[in-house]
A and B are shown apart, each in its own frame.
Chain A
Amino acid sequence: MSWLESLTLTSPSGFWNPLLWLAFLIIFAVIGYIIYSRGNRSYKPGTEQVKPFISGNAVDDVELIRVRASDIYWGLIEAMKGYYAVLMRMHTGDVRDYILWYLGVGAIILFILVGGV
């Protein structure tokens, strides 16, 4: 068995070799660098060029326009409102409910095992 084979993870229906993946990553990085090196050289950091473009409106404080965590995936969460309503009802933060959930799970497991389902 070669050293390359010894690093190959064989699964029931395939294989995975991270070193081969790494070789591909290096090739793609080189291709990326070639594309980058042929880019527009007129870019000048620290000038008007790098100011954020907001439909021509001047922005004094860029901190105000940053995307906050609560804004990210707003649409997805809004679309799954019904699902999240159920989840939120499940997470009351009340320790008595924690124990009720435990009792419920225990009862179901006992029913399956003792009841012979």
Chain B
Amino acid sequence: MIEHLPALMVAVPLFGAFTTPLLKKKPSAAALWALAITAVTLGLGVLLVMEVLTRGMMVYVFGADEPGLVLPSGYSVPIRIIFEVDAMGAFMALSAVLMSFIGAMYSYSHVKLETGLEKYYALLLLLEVGILGMVLTGDLFNLFVFLEIAGIAGSALVGFRNYRGEASEAGLKYLIVSAVASLMVLFSIGLLYGQYGNLNIAYLSSQIGFNTVDMIALGILFASFVMKCGSVPTHHWVPDAYTEVPSGINPVLLVATYASLYALFRVSFSLFGTISLSMSSVGWIMSVLGVLTMFIGVTMALVQKDVKRLMSYHAISQTGYMLLGVGVGLTVLNDPAKLAAFGRDAMAGGIFHIINHIIYKSLLLMTAGALFYVTGTRNLNEMGGLARKMPYTTVAFIVGAAAISGIPPFNGFASKFLIYETSYQLNPLLAIFAMVTSVLTLASFVKVFASAFLGPPVKRYENVREVPKPMVVAMLILAALCILFGLFPNIVLDKLVYPAVDALLNLNGYQTWGGVL
């Protein structure tokens, strides 16, 4: 079974997505079925990560006599659909399966009173399929297909509460933005296919040159994934989507956003990694976009009074850290001395920040969902004194807020620490912006804490109680992960993050399908 893991990772949630609508008459059965499917996928994801970390890159050829048979006799180029799972892909896959499981668990109570739950869970599983396909595939056209699946499922979930005009509007906006980005991705894939007659990323990366058409393809791919990952100044869709989507979907939608970030990294390091001359420029573009993203995101968050919108702007801001960390690494990619001195650590900081952010931002958005669940409003002006009524949510919020603000010993600190130090070595101004952003992040979470949880009790909420147990458990699991990843950052870095960084840097290994050839 182990050799079929890459295919099973997509097949199991896909099977779940198609069977969930059969449970239309029993919404709670649909919820439990989705929970079971995400749990099985989580188990498969853990096995996949263990396999990749112990035995190296996994290659899965669909339709071949043997799953590892990349080039059947007589073929000189790969022609089949190939999944190529290195440590970076496995790292992202683990994030996806973990957050899908947590999201399904939280949703069990959070959306219990909504209608059309069989569609909700089917779409949740389909979103998981889209993300997993994007991060596991080694084929550009497949990447586009799964990007579309994730985009369509995501937009349907954003507009799930269609009795709210804002949700429908946000869903439509997300759909348009996703469609434009995806079609431009398809256009640039067409440019590359026209030149090289192949769609396999590893094969293309070994063939690609430094001509104008290649650079146009790189530029379009770069801009499209930048928009899909929510970087400033193409971030406008993020607050709408994250605010309107049900909180149980927030973790999965976050991973979907970072699957696009993964695609951006994959394109920069694996597909175009050999174009040494321009990579410094691309790295600088990424770093500058990172700084703009973190600063504009946090300053916009500071003025929000809608709790989920505020947190959505923070999600944008934190994406800036990831872009900055990996951008610093990309800038010095072709300078071995600088890469060894700080570039690799900068990338580790950026990639470590992906999983840290997914954990604490999911937690924070869930606490925002919990506030909405008990108060029926997201307006911070109308809240107050809820800490007495919702002790678990309060603790979860404090942990999440401390983590996102980079307060030690929570997980956000370790990754930010690496980003501060390494970006300083490229240019001190970059590190200064990163640190100011952290201070402003803390300031805006003080605002949320003071206005929602502290202060005198509000009469209207006299009878509110803590949210149901599945929601509390989901939040506490994430809070525990914030603490564990913060207390033992070195273990996470050694076991998951540095292998992912090295996978991105090891272009030769990627081009030879991990030594299969």
Contact = CB atoms under 8 A, between A and B. Distances in A.
A58 interface: no
Given A18-B488, A63-B384, A114 B212 contact: yes
Given A99-B180, A102-B181, A102-B234, A69 B380 contact: yes
Contacts of A80: 299
Identify the 10 closest CB pairs spanning chains A and B, nearest first: A69-B380, A106-B223, A18-B409, A62-B456, A69-B451, A110-B219, A66-B455, A68-B381, A72-B447, A113-B215
A11 B450 contact: no
Nearest to B174: A95
Interface in B264-285: 278, 281-282, 285
A42 B220 CA distance: 70
B234 A98 contact: yes
A12 B422 CA distance: 7
Contacts of B409: 18, 21-22, 25
Interface in B199-213: 212
Given A98-B177, A98-B236, A102-B227, A83 B489 contact: no
Interface of B: 172-173, 176-177, 180-181, 184, 212, 215-216, 218-220, 222-224, 226-227, 233-234, 236-237, 240, 278, 281-282, 285, 296, 299-300, 302-303, 305, 341-342, 345, 380-381, 383-385, 408-409, 413-414, 417-418, 421-422, 425, 443, 446-448, 450-452, 455-459, 486-491, 493
A87 to B, nearest CB: 6
A114 B214 CA distance: 9
Given A70-B380, A73-B302, A83-B299, 10 more contacts: A11-B345, A12-B425, A21-B409, A63-B456, A87-B299, A101-B234, A102-B227, A106-B220, A110-B220, A114-B212
A16 B421 CA distance: 12
Determine chain A's interface SS by DSSP, over half rule: helix
Given A14-B421, A66-B456, A110-B219, A91 B236 contact: yes
Interface in A18-33: 18-19, 21-22, 25
Contact of B285 (A6, A12, A67, A112): A112
Interface of A: 6-9, 11-14, 16, 18-19, 21-22, 25, 62-63, 65-70, 72-73, 76-77, 80, 83-84, 87, 90-91, 93, 95, 97-99, 101-102, 104-106, 109-110, 112-114, 117
B285 A69 contact: no
B260 to A, nearest CB: 13
B303 A84 contact: yes
A43 to B, nearest CB: 19
A77 B425 contact: no
Given A7-B491, A102-B223, A113-B281, A91 B341 contact: no
B285 A110 contact: no
Determine chain B's interface SS by DSSP, over half rule: helix
A95 B236 CA distance: 9
Contact of B236 (A13, A63, A101): A101
A68 B381 CA distance: 5
Contact of B489 (A9, A63, A72, A73): A9
A69 B422 contact: no
Contacts of B421: 11-14
B280 to A, nearest CB: 11
Give the one of A8, A70, A80, A93 with max B CB within 10 A.
Answer: A70
A11 B417 contact: yes
A51 to B, nearest CB: 11
Contacts of B219: 106, 109-110, 113-114
Contacts of A98: 173, 176-177, 234, 236-237
A67 B455 contact: yes
9 contacts: A11-B422, A12-B341, A18-B488, A67-B455, A69-B383, A84-B299, A101-B234, A106-B219, A106-B220
A19 B220 CA distance: 46
A62 B454 CA distance: 13
Give the one of A14, A18, A63, A73 with max B CB within 10 A.
Answer: A18
A104 B226 CA distance: 12
B275 to A, nearest CB: 9
B487 A69 contact: no
A45 B379 CA distance: 31
Contacts of A84: 299, 303
Given A11-B417, A112-B281, A63 B215 contact: no
Contacts of A14: 421
Contacts of A87: 296, 299-300
A12 B240 CA distance: 39
B450 A67 contact: yes
Given A91-B236, A102-B180, A109-B285, A67 B451 contact: yes
A72 B456 contact: no
Contacts of A11: 345, 417-418, 421-422
Contact of A66 (B278, B384, B487, B490): B384
A110 B285 CA distance: 11
Contact of B342 (A8, A12, A65, A106): A12
A112 B223 CA distance: 12
Nearest to B213: A114
A68 B454 CA distance: 11
Nearest to A64: B456
Give the one of A11, A65, A69 with max B CB within 10 A.
Answer: A69
B381 A69 contact: yes
Contacts of A12: 341-342, 345, 421-422, 425
Nearest to B304: A69
